Structure 1
Amino acid sequence: MKGKILIFTFLTAIFGWSATAQKSFRVGYVDMEYILENVPQYQQASSQLDAKVQEWRKEVEEKKRAIEDMKNQLENERALLTKELIEEREEEIAYQEEQALDYQQKRFGPNGDYMIQKKQLIRPIQDQVFTAVQEISENRNLDMVFDRTANNGMIYADRQYDISDQVLRSINRAANRRQIDSREGRQALEAEENRTVEQDAKIAEENQEVQEKRNEREALLAERQRQRDSIKAAKQKELEARRAKIIEERQRRIDSIRAIRARKDTIN
């Protein structure tokens, strides 16, 4: 909905400008994802949320494993159980599956805890971005600023209109001012604030190179983990096949014993 409003506003402004052709129309944009990645407060809170997510996923997996164990136990004991006991076990398994699905939706559904806390995490940063955008727009005489990561239909934008670094700089300045209470710290902050946009851009480029190297390393680690998971899954599949074979052989022996007993009863 927000993206549609931006499109409508943008087109209205463009058409109005085209009709009058009396003044230049200045547009800027921000990259919200880039800003979030470089705000320390957001990264810290995001790490805490990621830790919670890992706990929730672990709980979901534990519930799934418990259900799988119940299913395997039922299959192993099915031949020795009455029809009523089998039905009772199956109903319990179905109930536990329903509970596990409800829990998963509660945590990761569209209205689950993850989405709610994610929105709560982003909202304060968005407020800071809007404040910074307003200030920068006034200083640079911009007519419109929008987010290139939103659903606004932007397929190209010249880098010169990107004010993400200025927004990020404004947010970090505000945060630093709140934290610094020493003379040396204030002097260092003043020196940082006196840097030009070009100097900031160079520093940002260097940080980007560091981030790219970090991403490459994380991708390599992820690929190694994927290979380990693949090997583990193959071993698990082989183990399950062996278990199924054992259960099948056990069932054949039980059927054979029952057949022998049935023949004896017939003879007697």
Structure 2
Amino acid sequence: MNTKVLFLVACLSTSFLGFSQRGVRIGYVDMEYILENVEEYREASEQLNAKAAKWKQEIELKQSTIEQMKKDLMAEKVLLTDELIAEREEEIQILEKEMLDYQQDRFGPQGDLVLQKQLLIQPIQDQVFNEVQKIGANKRYDFIFDKSADVVMLYSEKRHDISDLVLREIARTRKVSKSNKDKKLKNRLEEFQAEEAEADQEISEALQERQQKAADAKDTKKKAAEEKRAEALRLREERKKAYEERRKKLLEEREAKRKAKLEERKKDQEKEKDSTNQ
């Protein structure tokens, strides 16, 4: 990659000398961005990804079957003859080889996934190349680069991006969707807003829970205070009642003693009177 960059810098430096009088027009295209917006490619890519997921599941199932066979063999090994053990091990090896071959056929460098991706991309890449040639000639560009290629672009001005221009030309023959960049930004904004709403909801629920706990604690405290007050009033009434009863009893006792003294004094007076009369 460094060699490519140095070669590119050398070419540009040489070319700039030739174009120094009129200025150099440079543009670039973002192939990934273009592919994302070609609906034909995106739909086919989604179908291919679904196929790849199915292939992966099949490989995982094969792997699981082999692992189970190995476990079964280990568990039954003491009960089997050497001949049967060898047969089972050979069967496992065959299945392992079949699984690895299948994995290579599907996901290897020359596998179905790579080849089908290339088949999807190649026609669009060819069309992009043709459109870039036309745009370059008509708009008098000196250089047009592919941003997603091996050439490292350390910085690029948006005004040099002609990807949307290429998409408009492609749209003459293929169905092209609206820019996914705005959709992604909108989706990210919606996700952020949803996350914020969820966070607000959690905070609100936590606040409500805290407020409810505080209200419950307040009610409990108030109820305890009321119960304590009621108990104090009850005890006061009981003490008051006991005091009244003791006071009443004391008064009754005093009254009884007073009457007894009066009665005794009366009897003494009567005795004195009788003795005087005699």
**Equivalences, count:** 192
Letter in 2 for 1:171: I
In structure 2, what is the equivalent of residue 28 of structure 1?
27
Alpha-carbon offset, residue 69 of structure 1: 1.6
Q: Which 10-residue stretch deviates more, 26-35 or 128-137?
A: 128-137
- 1:135 Cα offset (Å): 2.5
Shift of the 148–205 alpha-carbon distance from structure 1 to 2, 3 Å rule, reads: closer
TM-score (norm 2): 0.61
CA–CA distance in 2 between the matches of 1:133 and 1:215? 36
Cα distance change, pair 119–10 in 1 and its aligned pair in 2 (3 A):
farther
Q: Please, what TM-score do these two structures have when normalized by structure 1?
A: 0.63
Query: Distance between the aligned counterparts of 1:143 and 1:20, measured in 2?
Result: 9
Does 2:148 correspond to 1:152? Answer: no
Pair 1:156–1:116, CA change in 2 (3 A): same
Would the aligned equivalents of 1:6 and 1:146 in 2 still touch at CA under 8 Å?
A: no
Correspondence 1:206 to 2:182:
yes
Q: Deviation of residue 155 (structure 1)?
A: 1.6
Cα 1:111–1:205 change in 2 (3 A) is closer
CA distance in 1, matches of 2:164, 2:3: 25
Local SS of the residue matching 1:173:
coil
Query: In structure 1, how many angstroms separate the alpha carbons of the residues matched to 2:34 and 2:192?
Result: 21
Shift of 1:159: 1.3
**Greater radius of gyration (CA):** 2
Deviations 1:138-166 (A, max 9, x none): 33221111111111122211111111111
- Structure 1 Cα separation of the partners of residues 175 and 50 of structure 2: 27
Query: Which amino acid is 2:29 matched to?
Result: V
- CA shift, 1:205, in A, is 5.5
Cα distance in structure 2, aligned partners of 1:123 and 1:212 = 31
Q: Indicate if the aligned counterparts of 1:28 and 1:142 stay in contact, CA closer than 8 A.
A: yes
RMSD value over aligned CA atoms?
2.9
Instruction: Specify the SS of the correspondent of 1:174.
Output: coil
Q: Counterpart of 2:165 in 1: which secondary structure?
A: helix
CA contact (8 A) 1:137 1:143 kept: yes
Gaps of 5+ in 1: 178-199, 218-268
Aligned pair in 2 of structure 1 residues 117, 15: CA closer, same or farther (>3 Å)? Answer: same
In 1: Cα distance, 2:103 partner to 2:168 partner: 39
CA distance in structure 2 between the partners assigned to 1:90 and 1:215 by the alignment:
52
2:67 counterpart residue number? 68
1:84 is aligned to 83
Percent identity over the alignment is: 45
Q: 1:67: how far off?
A: 0.6
Mapped contact 1:67–1:96 kept (Cα < 8 A): yes
Conservation of the 8 A alpha-carbon contact between 1:4 and 1:152: no
